[in-house]
Structure 1
């Protein structure tokens, strides 16, 4: 498979490194509007050619698939161009800025018979995939209650850098700069963590959002600090379960942690994924009566990068697909609406 990497920002490095390690993949091209960045990226990863526009790359056309690592707001337009040119697409999350655009992308790539997958990176957590099997095999019985959280501490710690002085963080705090806050940035990750881990879909949502005071006048230079820092969400699922999902950038002591607790009528599990490792804890069988939890060791799983390559080889889309990502975006869009009208919304209406 010959691959074009569209966009050469920080996440593009992960794409280049991971795809380069897969047998049968050739990094054919790289695109960036800045000629210097495009050439530097090309040289660093031994890519065949560099381009300063997608149009230029598509006119050349000597590639099979595109890793779309452009800014969130232009995923829609650039992906539609790639689909029109007959290219498979591996898109960074979120798939689009809103449900309508995401659904159009899903419709068009399916109609074209092309592979469209989204890099929801926490599918790479082996413990989450093992936990899902506890649900699909019936080992924990009927799922009744779900708790999930995504906790980060970069607003109270400089471990990732100084958000007060670095544009790569400040834009995430400003609606004017295209940010939908914590909900838009990591909401898609934790919602995918939940629905994949529980083998179900979201039915109804109600969400509260909060942007806390962070600077004088809540402004630093050109950045208005008005995007949400935290959200709390109540969720009902199509399998009948009820859940709570929350996230914050003010989670002191948590660098980057996803946690999922799922309770069934026969057993339960907890998945914890942190910057320094992951764990799967289970309470099953006789241990249910004594509330004993045991850690389960799991084997590594294929990454999204590897699965995209396999999907292109098979000519069949694997999950997480554009269609799945569009459903997650619908939940996020409705969560934003619930903050305004203060009432629950149903996705399936």
Structure 2
């Protein structure tokens, strides 16, 4: 597979690192509007060709697939152009900034017959994969309730850098700069974590969003700090289970932590993924009577990068797919609506 990396900012380095380690994948080009950045990226990852636009790369055309690592608002036009040219696409999350555009991208990829997948990175967590298999095997019985959280602390800690002075963080706090806040940035991750682990999609949703004061007049330079910082969501899954999902950047003491608890009529599973490691615990069978939890060891699983390569070789999209990401975007869009009209909505279609 000859791969073009579109966008050469921070996350693109992860794409280059992971894809270049896969036998059969060759990084043949990079694209960025910043000439210095694409040149430095090419030197760092031994990529021969650099382009100033996707149009220029498509005119060259000597590649099979695109890793789309552009800003969120650019995913739609660039992916549509790549798909129209018959290129397979591995897109960063979220797939698009709204459900309508995400659906257009999904339908265009289906019509073109190309592989279309989204880098929902926490699918790479072996403990989540194992938890899902336990749930789907019926070991915890019918799912009744879930709890899911994504906790970050970079608004109260400088461990990742100083958001007050660094554009890579400030844009995430500003709607004008393309951010949908915590809901759009990490909400898609924790929703995927929850529905994948619980083995059921979301049927109904109600969400509250909150933006807290962070600077004088909530503005730093060109950045108006108006994107949401926290959300709390109640959901009902298609299997009938109730649940709560929440996320925030104000979680003091939590660098980057996802947690999922799935409670069934016969047992429970709990997944925790942190910046420094992951764990899976279960309470099954007779242990449910005593509340005894046991740690479960998990073998490594293929990464999304490896799955995309295998999908291109097979000529068939694997999960996480554009269609799945589109369904998640519908929930995110509805969550914003529910915050405005203060009532629950059903996820239809």
TM range (shorter): over 0.9
- Pairing 1:162–2:181 present: no
Query: What's the CA shift for 1:251?
Result: 0.3
1:39-58 aligned at under 5 Å gives the runs: 39-58=39-58
Question: What is the DSSP-based 3-state SS (H/G/I as helix, E as strand, rest coil) of the residue aligned with 1:29?
Answer: strand
> Once the two structures are superposed, what CA deviation does each residue of 1:313-349 show, in whole Å capped at 9, x if it has no partner?
0001000000000000000000001010001111126
In structure 1, the residue matched to 2:60 is: 60
TM-score by length of 1: 0.99
In structure 2, the residue matched to 1:99 is: 99
> Once the two structures are superposed, what CA deviation does each residue of 1:185-232 show, in whole Å capped at 9, x if it has no partner?
100000000111011101011000001111111111111111110000
In structure 2, the residue matched to 1:143 is: 143
> Once the two structures are superposed, what CA deviation does each residue of 1:140-192 show, in whole Å capped at 9, x if it has no partner?
11000000000000000000001111111111111111111100110000000
> Once the two structures are superposed, what CA deviation does each residue of 1:76-123 show, in whole Å capped at 9, x if it has no partner?
000000011000000000000100000010111011111000000000
C-alpha distance in 2, partners of 1:81/1:222? Answer: 31
Question: What is the DSSP-based 3-state SS (H/G/I as helix, E as strand, rest coil) of the residue aligned with 2:206?
Answer: strand
In structure 2, the residue matched to 1:320 is: 320
> Once the two structures are superposed, what CA deviation does each residue of 1:46-82 show, in whole Å capped at 9, x if it has no partner?
1121111100100100000000001100100000000
Q: How many pairs align?
A: 349
Question: What is the DSSP-based 3-state SS (H/G/I as helix, E as strand, rest coil) of the residue aligned with 1:228?
Answer: coil
C-alpha distance in 2, partners of 1:241/1:220? Answer: 43
Question: What is the DSSP-based 3-state SS (H/G/I as helix, E as strand, rest coil) of the residue aligned with 1:23?
Answer: coil
In structure 2, the residue matched to 1:336 is: 336
> Once the two structures are superposed, what CA deviation does each residue of 1:259-302 show, in whole Å capped at 9, x if it has no partner?
00000001001000000100001000110000000100101100
C-alpha distance in 2, partners of 1:278/1:110? Answer: 35
* Aligned residues: CA RMSD: 0.7
In structure 2, the residue matched to 1:74 is: 74
Question: What is the DSSP-based 3-state SS (H/G/I as helix, E as strand, rest coil) of the residue aligned with 1:348?
Answer: coil
C-alpha distance in 2, partners of 1:167/1:45? Answer: 24
- Pairing 1:7–2:13 present: no
Question: What is the DSSP-based 3-state SS (H/G/I as helix, E as strand, rest coil) of the residue aligned with 2:260?
Answer: strand
TM-score by length of 2: 0.99
1:277-288 aligned at under 5 Å gives the runs: 277-288=277-288
Runs ≥4 residues deviating over 2 A: none
Question: What is the DSSP-based 3-state SS (H/G/I as helix, E as strand, rest coil) of the residue aligned with 1:302?
Answer: coil
Deviation larger for 107-116 or 120-129: 107-116
1:1-349 aligned at under 5 Å gives the runs: 1-348=1-348
C-alpha distance in 2, partners of 1:335/1:204? Answer: 10
Unmatched tracts of structure 1, length 5 or more: none
Unmatched tracts of structure 2, length 5 or more: none
